A and B are shown apart, each in its own frame.
Chain A
Amino acid sequence: MDAQHITTKQRLAIPRQVMPAQPPEVRIHNFNEVHLGYTPELARQEALRCIQCKDPVCIKGCPVNIKIDQFIKMIAEGNFLGAAKKIKEDNVLPAICGRVCPQEDQCEKMCILAKKYESVAIGNLERFAGDYERETGHVELPSVKPSTGKHVAIIGSGPAGLSCANDLIQLGHAVTVFEALHELGGVLVYGIPEFRLPKKIVKAEIEGLKQLGVKFVTNAVAGRSITVDELLKEEGFDAVFVGVGAGLPWFMGIPGENLLGVYSANEFLTRVNLMKSYQFPENDTPVFNCKGKNVAVFGGGNTALDAVRTAKRLGAEHAYIVYRRSEAEMPARLEELHHAQKEGIEFMLLMNPVEFIGNDQQWLTGVKCIRMELGEPDDSGRRRPVPIPDSDFILPIDMAIISIGNGSNPLIKQTTPDIEVSKRDTIVVDVNTMATSKDNVYAGGDIVTGGATVILAMGAGRTAAVAINEKLMGIDAD
């Protein structure tokens, strides 16, 4: 069937194309990506399923309003490079977002087909277009406007910072990105594991920005190596975008949390992803040896699933998710949840840890949990878990990973007191411009929203770029 001569009925008859993946029994022994990507044939077949609605509601579900109907039509016609270009008008990182966006809660949730059939696999198609362009060596650098003579500093090289840098450099501003770690990419490299987002993809995207002229400075910690005021007053920047991400990991405040073998998800994932401790001793950074051990991850978000699946790949005998609500309330992506289930992750639902137990050398040996039941809905709209009296039991574990979220990075607040922060220490912004209370300083991503998604951070970076450009060029926003 070709894209010109196909009836809606024929389109609807095509089943949703499954993306080939490594079988679970194979992938739990490696860190390679789970999904292998659509072939061009599969991609065209999937693209043909899109009925090209007159009013494409999927776009309303996308935080950055990618022209979904248009790029899918191009894929159906075999114009893969055109599709990639079309996506990039709104989203500079298609290969990344195609992989890590929660499409089932965004564009694919709105897809009209979802009501009666399965939604079009928009995320898979986005990923295909991004990969095709990169793998065939056809990434075209966008044109850059003549220099405006303005300089913008971006703090943090995560998704918010990268998208902001991309837009600003194209508008002709000089852009310097400051990164605290020794590698660029923020959460894309220290947080999200290789099996979900290969690092070479992040590297390629950053390489593209370098070619456009974006300058990157690693090992520069905002608030310590450089402060916002120094950037504005001493280093000659006209505006600053703060995209430093989330900060200090939360712990649960239960006894035994400082025992040996208790980690935050941030530490565990940073050791494995950024420091590559899964290749110890070739790499110097060690991590708890999971081989043959029982590992429990506490939490129900994407980070918790990343951590537990990483532990499984490091050889854990039993890898548990311990979560105090039921599966329906888990904030993790459904797709990741299914992957985890197939990989043999054991779900201990409606259970809450109350105490970690250790031996005389202070190594963790178990966790005392209490069973929960669901009561009335709480502020989040999810049913509140309530402990069942006298239901406690001990789960023997050797390693615990706490993944219940993060607080805010304290360094900006400590060193730039005139940036207004909320009670939770997140930076307060005008959501239309991402402007903070401090003149010429903008912010976006997790430092504003608290722990959220890559695409929301990217959207914030782009909103800020528009506002920064208007401010610097004296354009009246009204």
Chain B
Amino acid sequence: MYRIVSALFLAENIKKIEIEAPRIAKKRKAGQFVMIRVGESGERIPLTIAGSDPEKGTITIIVQGMGKSTKELNSKEAGDTISDVVGPLGAPSHIEKFGTAVSVGGGVGTAIAYPTAVALKEAGNYVITINGARSKDLVILEKEMTAVSDEAYITTDDGSYGFHGFVTQKLQELIDSGRTIDYVLAIGPIPMMRAIAEVTRPYKIKTVVSLNPIMVDGTGMCGGCRVSVDNQIKFACVDGPEFDAHLVDFKNLSDRNKIYQTEEKQSSESWLHECKLLKTV
């Protein structure tokens, strides 16, 4: 059992959870993830490590309640326990001094991009961050991102805060202004990552995305997380999760992530039903 040390909502439905996992805290590097099983009948879900405190022996994850497992995880409070945390998994982000590096985060993807943005800054890059959300109340990690950025931008779809528009438009604006951009990291919903790849493709800017296929073991045993990169099968759990955005088959990833749509809906609904029942008791 793994103890939750602190749990705090950053925005509606997005929670920051700090878990006791000393071995992982000591070893994890930017870009790596953990597999979590909330309870004994739970599924194994991959979640990127947003940060760690090796002294304290804790790791931090930032979770958006999407399906049953993430909603159940987000219902946990400090002092609660979860069944399993395993990691750090996946290959760490490739970090070097690229020059000017742009980190683009969409929604909860901002949390996943954060540790890599930190590592890029530490490696001596000029770091620009562009973080997008649907509206102001969904903006997360603004303070943290600003602290690691030489330039930080927030975009909102509805214009309620920062730049009115999408992260792609902001990135295009930067490129159009004639600035040299050497590296782009984009993490967020699949359509966003795909759109960023198309923005940078004509300029041949090295662009990396962190993929989120469905996984079971997360250790390279089942092959469920296979993605098509440059027309070759790659396993996101051991070869990734980061890949060259210009070579990823996003359509296939998007299709494959829909395999269990029906079952996910069923689980999610019965979970909400259970919660309501518990509240009425």
A-side interface residues toward B, CB under 8 Å?
180-182, 190, 218-221, 224-226, 247-249, 251, 253, 257-258, 260-261, 263-264, 266-267, 270-271, 275-276, 280-286, 288-289, 361-362, 409-411
Contact = CB atoms under 8 A, between A and B. Distances in A.
B69 interface: yes
A284 B88 contact: no
22 contacts: A181-B217, A182-B86, A190-B217, A221-B87, A224-B87, A225-B86, A225-B88, A248-B235, A249-B221, A249-B222, A251-B223, A253-B233, A261-B259, A264-B223, A281-B263, A281-B267, A282-B41, A285-B44, A286-B43, A362-B255, A409-B220, A411-B219
Contacts of B41: 276, 282-284
Interface string B214-229: 0011011111101010
Given A270-B216, A284-B69, A258 B86 contact: no
Interface string B84-102: 1111110000000000000
B36 to A, nearest CB: 10
Contacts of A224: 27, 87-89, 219
Contacts of A289: 263
B220 A275 contact: no
B270 A267 contact: no
Contacts of B235: 248
Main secondary structure of the interface of A (DSSP, over half): loop
A44 B88 CA distance: 53
Contacts of A270: 216-217, 221-222
B65 to A, nearest CB: 14
A221 B255 contact: no
Contacts of B15: none
Counting chain B residues whose Cβ lies within 8 A of the other chain, the interface size class is 35 or more
B258 A260 contact: yes
Interface in B29-85: 37, 41-44, 68-69, 83-85
Given A226-B23, A281-B267, A182 B84 contact: yes
Nearest to A230: B27
A264 B266 contact: no
A181 to B, nearest CB: 7
B265 to A, nearest CB: 11
B186 interface: no
A362 B249 CA distance: 13
B177 interface: no
Interface of B: 23-24, 27, 37, 41-44, 68-69, 83-89, 216-217, 219-224, 226, 228, 233, 235, 238, 249, 252, 255-256, 258-260, 263-264, 266-267, 270
Contact of B23 (A218, A220, A275): A220
Contact of B266 (A226, A258, A267, A281): A281
Closest 10 A-B residue pairs measured CB to CB? A286-B263, A267-B222, A219-B86, A264-B223, A285-B43, A284-B43, A362-B255, A249-B223, A267-B224, A182-B84
A280 B263 contact: yes
A180 B23 contact: no
Given A182-B37, A281-B266, A411-B220, A275 B252 contact: no
A162 B41 CA distance: 25
Given A221-B86, A275-B216, A286 B222 contact: no
A232 B86 CA distance: 21
Contacts of A266: 221-223
A411 B42 contact: no
Contact of A219 (B68, B85, B216): B85
Central interface residue in B228, B249, B255, by most chain A CB within 10 Å: B255
Given A225-B24, A270-B217, A280-B263, A361 B223 contact: no
Contact of B216 (A251, A257, A267): A267
Nearest to B90: A224
Contacts of B87: 221, 224-225
Given A270-B217, A283-B41, A218 B84 contact: yes
Contact of A410 (B220, B233, B260): B220
A221 B89 contact: yes
Given A219-B84, A219-B86, A225-B27, A267 B223 contact: yes
B222 A260 contact: no
Contacts of A181: 86, 217, 219
A188 to B, nearest CB: 14
B226 A258 contact: yes
A261 to B, nearest CB: 8
Given A220-B23, A249-B223, A258 B85 contact: no
